């Protein structure tokens, strides 16, 4: 059952009480920085940098001895995954915040991204302490996974002297899992059709043009009264006001007048990014289309292109343009 606006506001107010709170007392690492753990990490990462392995090489590079890879920062204070024990008995503020959301139907969680920063190299003997704060919670977002809230935490790492040695931000999405369409076992009713490109609605003034495309013809409307060419087609010629309209078949040769590479939002049913262009046809009219068989970085204004009519989906043809050979 989706929450009402009032329930949502109440939830959001409760969530906001967590912002700025540490998730727990600062947590020192179980072990001080040590060479066995460094070697194990480097083995796993296939990191052969000698300053992590060999004291002599590290000294030559200007360090007192072997140092730890900066990306191990979080490893020094990690002790299992506390969330794995579930939310039933929350042990810290992060658990409590997650439980609050779970109890309101935001049952799923996914980590979305993390950033780290390093102040200095850690060396064997350093004792690292992590202090994690719930930094912010987003407004409700509609994502491909479902609606939810992004929770940002920020961890500051300090050494035995209390000096900062690095930081880490971590973002999770706590969300209501979206109902996935039932897979069709018989291809019958209930099967969600895969989205396709939006096809043109066809009316009196444009349907004939699309029918010719399905026959493999790129047409340009031509006024039978005065011979003027028009695109897009219209019911009356703006030159002579004749309503007697015919067409000519275009040669398909053209030049890119302008273009755009469309990247966001991502449209279901379209291959992203979309290279769309405005093309001057040699007959003198202009048409919007796609340039295909061409990398986005290679298209340019003035580029010569040729029309090709592709069956882009079963039973539907679309004129597109390719770089002229």
Partner 1 sequence: MPTTLKDEAAIVGIGQTKFTKNSGVSELALACEAVSNAIDDAGLDPSEVDGLTTFTLDTNDEIDVARAVGIGEIRHFGRTPYGGGAATAIVHQAVMAVATGTCKAVVAYRALNGRSGQRYGAGVSGNIITSDLIHWSWYMPWGLLTPASWVAMFAQRYMHEYGAKPEDLAEVAIATRSHAVNNPDAFFHGRPLTLDEYMDARFIAEPLRLYDCCQETDGGCAVVITSPERARDLKHPGVMIRAAASAAGADQEQMTSFYRPAISGLPEMDSVASQLWETSGLGPDDIDSAILYDAFTPNVLFQIESFGFCGRGEAKDFVKDGALAVGGRLPTNTHGGQLSEAYIHGVNGIAEGVRVVRGTSTNQPQKNDHVLVTSGIGVPTSAMVLGKMD
Under the rule (CB under 8 A), what is the footprint of partner 1? 5, 8-9, 139-140, 197-203, 205-206, 231-232, 257-265, 267, 270, 274, 276, 278, 285-286, 288-290, 296, 301, 318, 320
Nearer to partner 1, 43 or 271 (CB): 271
| Cα separation values, 240 from 44, 90, 223, 229, Å | 78, 79, 9, 12
Nearer to partner 1, 85 or 267 (CB): 267
Choose among 165, 169, 143, 164: nearest CA to 154.
169
Nearer to partner 1, 80 or 201 (CB): 201
Is the Cβ–Cβ distance between 306 and 321 less than 8 Å? yes
Nearer to partner 1, 80 or 235 (CB): 235
Nearer to partner 1, 165 or 320 (CB): 320
Task: Give min distance, CB of 21 to partner 1, in A.
Answer: 23
Distance from C-alpha of 80 to C-alpha of 99, rounded to nearest angstrom: 19
Q: How many CB atoms lie within 10 A of CB 249?
A: 12
Contacts by 288-292 with C-beta closer than 8 Å and gap 24+?
289/319, 289/320, 289/321, 290/318, 290/320, 290/321, 291/256, 291/259, 291/320, 291/321, 291/322, 291/323, 292/320, 292/321, 292/322
Task: Give min distance, CB of 311 to partner 1, in A.
Answer: 13
Task: Give min distance, CB of 160 to partner 1, in A.
Answer: 36
Task: Give min distance, CB of 274 to partner 1, in A.
Answer: 4
Is the Cβ–Cβ distance between 56 and 66 less than 8 Å? no
Task: Give min distance, CB of 94 to partner 1, in A.
Answer: 25
Task: Give min distance, CB of 280 to partner 1, in A.
Answer: 10
Is the Cβ–Cβ distance between 277 and 290 less than 8 Å? yes
Nearer to partner 1, 166 or 319 (CB): 319
């Amino acid at each position: 059952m989706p929450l009402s606006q009032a329930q949502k506001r109440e939830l959001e107010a409760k969530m906001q009480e967590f912002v700025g709170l540490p998730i727990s007392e600062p947590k020192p690492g179980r072990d001080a920085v040590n060479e066995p753990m460094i070697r194990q990490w480097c083995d796993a990462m296939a990191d052969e940098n000698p300053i992590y392995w060999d004291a002599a090489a590290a000294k030559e590079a200007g360090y007192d001895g072997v140092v730890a890879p900066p990306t191990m920062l979080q490893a020094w204070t990690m002790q299992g995954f506390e969330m794995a024990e579930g939310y039933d008995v929350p042990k810290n503020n992060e658990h409590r915040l997650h439980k609050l959301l779970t109890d309101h139907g935001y049952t799923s969680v996914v980590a979305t991204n993390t950033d780290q920063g390093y102040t200095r190299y850690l060396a064997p003997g350093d004792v690292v302490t992590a202090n994690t704060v719930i930094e912010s919670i987003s407004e409700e977002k509609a994502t491909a996974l479902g609606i939810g809230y992004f929770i940002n935490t920020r961890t500051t790492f300090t050494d035995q002297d209390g000096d900062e040695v690095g930081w880490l931000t971590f973002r999770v999405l706590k969300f209501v899992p979206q109902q996935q369409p039932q897979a069709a076992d018989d291809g019958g009713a209930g099967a969600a059709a895969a989205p396709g490109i939006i096809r043109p609605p066809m009316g009196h003034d444009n349907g004939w043009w699309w029918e010719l495309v399905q026959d493999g013809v790129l047409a340009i409307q031509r006024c039978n009264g005065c011979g003027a060419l028009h695109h897009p087609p219209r019911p009356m010629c703006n030159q002579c006001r004749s309503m007697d309209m015919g067409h000519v078949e275009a040669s398909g040769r053209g030049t890119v007048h302008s273009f755009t590479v469309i990247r966001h939002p991502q449209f279901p049913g379209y291959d992203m990014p979309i290279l769309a262009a405005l093309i001057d046809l040699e007959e003198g009219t202009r048409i919007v289309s796609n340039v295909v068989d061409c990398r986005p970085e290679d298209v340019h204004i003035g580029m010569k292109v040729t029309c090709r009519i592709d069956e882009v989906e079963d039973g539907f043809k679309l004129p597109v343009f390719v770089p002229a050979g």
